[in-house]
Structure 1
Amino acid sequence: MADRHMLRLPALEVRQGSRRIYCFAVDGKRLHEFAAVSRIRRDSEDHLQGYQRPEVANHIRAIKRYLESGSPMLPNAIVLAFDSRVRFEPSISVQDFHYSIPGELIVPIDETLEDDAKPAWLVDGQQRSAAIREADIGEFPVAAVAFIADNEAEQRAQFILVNNTKPLPKGLIHELLPDTNGHLPPAYARRQLPAVVMTRLNGTFHGPFYRAIATPTSPDGYIKDNSILRMIEHSLYEGALYKYRNPDDGTGDVDQMLLHLNTYWGLVRDIFPDAWALPPRSSRLTHGVGIQAMGFIMDELTEHLLPQEIATVVADGLKKIEQGAAWTSGNWNFGGEIRKWNSFQNTPNDVKLLANGLRILMNQQNLF
């Protein structure tokens, strides 16, 4: 018969303005009874689900060995997000320290629940909790800090903030940003709209970037997400996509941005099909230097164009570049300056040099 009961945990409610956090201790062996890990993935409709990266087996084994040693200690607190099924009952009223109230957290335990129906998610500490679960020890109490949040968007925001000073993979942050609400560090806030656009590009069926951008939920992609983000970000703030953006609140017409990008980059793909199909090590077109340089060309050629006007104007320009292109072999000849095809690297100087070279190719062909 399934076990259903309430787990009562002595806790301290700490009031931070209008928010509440809860500090408590719990046997790490029992965490899995009420908490689960929200794995990052996409559903059948390409909507983002979860936010946690996969478990790192080597890291878990190392923690497990340490836990099974003589006198282990894990001083860092595990961070949990509870839903509204968890409640706090104060035990006394403390007048002198109104921001710190002792009491009990009441956590419902139901063995019949699947992971996605449990009342808590691990925001930080999944490797430690996995190691405790697997370790050959009877119990191991851990410090924990929790907050109550009923929606995953707030959990994602807290997940990013908790890991802001840790080496969290940038790709994971970039994929989480579009579905994250709440305060974000300025650098992440600036990239939120570019990340929204990038995610939509990667999910546009038959689009030039469909599943081509490498992200945690698109591991077979071969174009670096950071290259795409830089291209989009520059265009949003200084280039062709600026006209679709509201500079007052940072929002924008994402559908028009997508149409603009897919139209231009669709032409790039069709005019350079072989170079587009190859990974960055074999093609400087899909390399960061090529993506950004061709992004600058997009900004110059299409800054004053609507998406439906792009094809007739840009196709001629790209065909001029095609005559002197050396994306996958040979040499670039920029008016007498010769550069081997793979000598360009993803540096600001080389991006600028390649973009200027592409302009020279177009001007030599009397495009303007």
Structure 2
Amino acid sequence: MTATQRCRDLGITLGIFPPGRHNAITDVPGVRVGHCTISEGEGPLVTGKGPIRTGVTIVEPRPSVWRSPVFAGAHRLNGNGEMTGLSWIRENGQLTTPIGLTNTHSVGAVRDAIIAEIHRDRGDDESYFCLPVVAETYDGILSDINGQHVRAEHVEAAFRALSDGPVPEGSVGSGTGMICHEFNGGIGTASRLVPNAHSGAYTLGVLVQANHGQRRRLRVDGVPIGERIPTETVSSPYEDLRKEMAGSGSIIVLIATDAPLLPHQCERLAQRGALAIGRTGGIGEHNSGDLLLAFSTGNDTMPGVGLGELDFEDIPVRMASDTVVELLFEAVIDATEEAIVNSMLAATTTVGRDGITAHPLPAEQLRAAVVGARENAEGAAS
């Protein structure tokens, strides 16, 4: 087994719904993801010089989303974190920009670079405003976070890397310096296909930036993995720091679906994503920023963002039934759990500043624990 395998490669399936083609958020038509990874230097921390273990990830709901905004809704499990643009989303119910992910002290740089990217996309049009969504988690355990190494050129590189194919996971892009349940963490993704009478199946995809949780609380498919793989077996990056700092990080959860949801339904979907954080052992610690954003690409009739003439026409929209929404609740919980686990499996061993080291979740030990527990349960039932 290799550390880069995913949940399903190990025989671990979560929930009843099948995944999409890539088992990624990019299975939702129109959604693209791009990374830019910044990994430089080694040795003692020298602020402004490194070592650097950080980056940028861009999630695009659909190309030029400002031309055709998507409905969106957000949820806060614990608010010791930042996701810009939420005031307008909560007020207006629409996501009108790509989403940027980065480290805590680079939010402003990424936000400004997204504005510049939108300006290039709009060309000569000057009659507009934009309030980009940029979210963060803290990578200062492994990286020179105060050096503010993320610049506009890195955001531009992430835009150039946008793809609707498989999504690189683990310690890449904005997830480069992240720690999850005291393993190396970062970017993880998963998807589900939910049956419906309209098109056969709606697609739901999740992408997480996982930087949260204590080892002792980690659960996968209900199995106490943190107890089976304690820090005595796989060391914690917090061992050379204050151990009480473990779990003080954050998680960002982005949820996309092509089911036609209205803003309040997106908000309900975001709330259910928080249940997966709890199911895997996260508790929304005081020092954790656990922020979730859900958006729906199922309507494409919203007018573009601008400051031109007012449009007094009615806008036709579709809305999924409560029956479909309830199925999406189940799908988002399962996909979010799988995305969190994938982030730890895909991550590689990262040696950060001052030699602090974060190891990935060992694939073979995870498989043995989860699959073994299932086999034991089946044997007892028979």
Place the TM-score, normalised by the shorter chain, in its bin: under 0.3
More helix by share: 1
- TM-score using structure 2 length: 0.22
| Structure with the greater alpha carbon radius of gyration | 1
